[in-house]
Amino acid sequence: MYFISGLTVLMTAILIYVGTGRNPLIAAYRFIYELFHSWRFLLVFIAMCCVLVVNKYELKLESLMPARSNYTSVFFGIEGHFVRHFQQFFHHLWVSQISAFFYVIILQSLLVASIGIYAGQRNKIFLFASCYTVLLNYAVAIPFFLFLPINEVWSYTPAGVTFYMLEAFPKFEEVYRPLSGLDNCFPSLHTAISVSMAILAVRSGNRRWAAIACTSAVIIIFSIFYMGIHWLTDMLGGLLLAAISTTIAVYWASRTVRYAEAKPMLLQQR
């Protein structure tokens, strides 16, 4: 796990450097500066962290709930063997390795790098929007995980899907399963988070970062099918969630920043 964490930090620094052409330490400094000088950003960041903590303990909440109906068979009835055909067509060891790298490492790095890049560029609207987006994605997804359990495709025997993650990361179940339930599938947060970061990158006007984020999102979406983890319906749910959450997040962020900048001017006029 320490290796994964270290690699995530390294990739985050690389993404910030490539996405901005500037020293990642500048982004780290500006992020810390915003935390200490903007109580609004501090509150939004704390709220985002809180929802991430709730997601971490979602499995414990599940264990306290009464028995729930499982709807995996409904998804399989709609999609059939789409995922099996998809992964069999592309299967190769190096594809498994690249897919695992993006699924496990790049998704986390993409999220953290987005916040770092906007902090480093002093783009307050998209700094706030990134945090609002993550908050919204998880706040919407967690109730689905609790009340609409859908098993990962590979774990549903009739689907005939292989879990190729184990080819590249044999200890995946040991390391990550305690953090993510086998039936926490709809909507796909890997899709929602990666596409959300790509949408924000495009809207921010940073073309270099937009190209990186969009490419990463495409590969991550590829990996959820190739690895045999998500259903097509999960992906569609993730896309819809990304579109809605980013729209709301940018609106909230614009109002937050506009109000924060307008208030000192009003006080001066008095």
The residues of the chain scoring below 50 in pLDDT are 265-267, 269
Number of domains in the chain: 1
**What is the reported pLDDT for 264?**
54
Picking from 138, 135, 139, the residue whose alpha carbon sits closest to that of residue 252 is 135
- Please state, in angstroms and rounded to a whole number, the distance separating the CA atoms of residues 26 and 84: 45
**Residue 21 CA: distances (Å) to CA of 17, 25, 33, 68, 194:** 5, 12, 20, 50, 22
- Please state, in angstroms and rounded to a whole number, the distance separating the CA atoms of residues 5 and 108: 10
Give me the domain span that covers residue 100: 2-269
**What is the reported pLDDT for 68?**
85
The answer to whether 185 and 151 are in contact (CB under 8 A) is: yes
- Looking at residue 148, the DSSP 8-state letter turns out to be S
**What is the reported pLDDT for 267?**
43
**What is the reported pLDDT for 60?**
86
